[in-house]
Amino acid sequence: MDKQKKRIYMDHAATTYLDERVKEAMEPYWTEKFGNPSSLYKEGRNARKAIETARADIAKIIGARAEEIIFTNGGTESDNLAIFGVVGALGFDYSNFSRLNPRAGSDDDSKSEQSKSHIITTKFEHHAVLKSCECLEKRGFDVTYLDVGEDGIVNPKDVEKALRPETILVSIMYANNEIGAIQPIAEIGKILKKHKTFFHSDACQAAGYLDLNVEKLGVDLLTVNGSKMYGPKGIGFLYAKRGIKLSPIMYGGGQEKHLRPGTENVPAIIGLAEALKIAREEREEESKRIAGLRDYFIERLLKEIPKTFLNGHSEKRLPNNINISILGVEGEAVVLYLDEYGIACSTGSACTSENFEPSHVILALGKPRAYAHGSLRFSLGKRNTKEDIDYTVDTLKSVIEKLRNISAVNV
């Protein structure tokens, strides 16, 4: 295979480039309109106006009120604020926490108040949610990690079954970042309406392709970030429905109603709003286009490379997500070979993780570890074309052939 000069980027789920229009919208805020929004004078007031306009625009797009939007440093921070914010505001004293057995048989209300210590999430959430929940478990919380089945889709009935009087938060991602599986958030939202628990969803992967209307979704808290939808990195927001009390996880100057102190990242906020606007306008058409490419990609892969399997539901998946397991080869080796040939994608193999564990998402589907080690994710973007896919499949075929030729595993 010839090593071509042009790069084919297919890892948009990791991050995206800035849309030109987003870049343009951000431009004045670096050196001209650079004021601190908290300052009293003209430069400050203009910066304040700019971010409040952005806030209102974002709120409108997701069907919320401006006051319900809290700007943060990104998806991870929004997830942390949602989880620790809710828990903190409910007044848990970690140092003195005693967890009562919720099934102790008592109908006593006061006991149930004290044991208000249950959270429901899924096995394949982003680590920002999982690690936060694990932290709370160490502090005495009960966490239910729901199964997601072979297809990677949570069953709303499982959510209902897991509910307890003392459940305070349910956190289920809108679309999984590794396999693109789209969760039935609106259905789950309906079920949870009858319960006093709060419902949070991490929508970082969904923003570019799916409807974010919070009324329709039935969520109380929603995480969105800029870096996966052609917006800037290092910015995101948390939607928190009016009336929900949150405890801050950072302390400082009181910005964002004390929930996210620190001088606001004005250019990034402007960029985030612009990116969301563009996403809302173009997502229907782009979703159609890219879903066509995705299906073509998957079809060629499954047909032309033996012992290749799709991870996640074939239809209820993000229009740009291709995640496959190829037996007999290891993911990092494939990624590095493809990189040599100009193609960027990612893998669920353990080699690329800090703790030698392969993708918890692929494992959550019930697949054997070998499938996780041999998994590849291609996530398409606005610039990808059919030619890119053809080149990638052809290259991948020869890479797999070479690696299978030296592999200790016969398939």
Partner 1 sequence: MADIRNNSGEEWLYSDKVKEHFLNPKNFLAGEPKEGEFDAEGEAGNFACGDIMKVWIKVEPKTEKIKDFKWRTWGCASAIAATSMFSVMVTENKGMTLDDALKITPENILERLSGLPPNKVHCSVLADQAFKDAVKNYRSHEKK
Using CB under 8 A as the criterion, which residues of the chain lie in contact with partner 1 when the complex forms? 328-333, 336-337, 340, 349-351, 354, 356, 358, 368-370, 373, 405-409
- In the complex with partner 1, the residue whose CB is nearer, 104 or 336, is 336
Q: How far lies 251's CA from each of 149, 200, 264, in Å?
A: 40, 23, 14
Spatial contact of 202 and 175, defined as CB atoms under 8 Å apart:
no
- In the complex with partner 1, the residue whose CB is nearer, 254 or 368, is 368
Q: How far lies 5's CA from each of 8, 239, 311, in Å?
A: 10, 42, 31
The set of catalytic residues is: 351
The distance of closest approach from Cβ of residue 154 to partner 1 in the complex, given in angstroms and rounded to an integer, is 27
The distance of closest approach from Cβ of residue 239 to partner 1 in the complex, given in angstroms and rounded to an integer, is 35
With b for 16 or more beta-carbon neighbours within 10 A and e for fewer, the 122-132 pattern comes to: bbbbbebbbeb
The distance of closest approach from Cβ of residue 127 to partner 1 in the complex, given in angstroms and rounded to an integer, is 17
Spatial contact of 373 and 39, defined as CB atoms under 8 Å apart:
no
State the DSSP string of 94-118.
GGG-----TTSS---HHHHHHT--E
The distance of closest approach from Cβ of residue 375 to partner 1 in the complex, given in angstroms and rounded to an integer, is 11
- In the complex with partner 1, the residue whose CB is nearer, 297 or 337, is 337
Report residue 220 as tokens. 């109380």
What totals of helices (H) and strands (E) does the chain contain, helices first? 14, 13
* Phi and psi at residue 8, to the nearest 5°: -110, 110
Cβ-based burial of 105 (10 A; exposed 0-12, middle 13-18, buried ≥19)? exposed
The distance of closest approach from Cβ of residue 335 to partner 1 in the complex, given in angstroms and rounded to an integer, is 9
Spatial contact of 260 and 71, defined as CB atoms under 8 Å apart:
yes
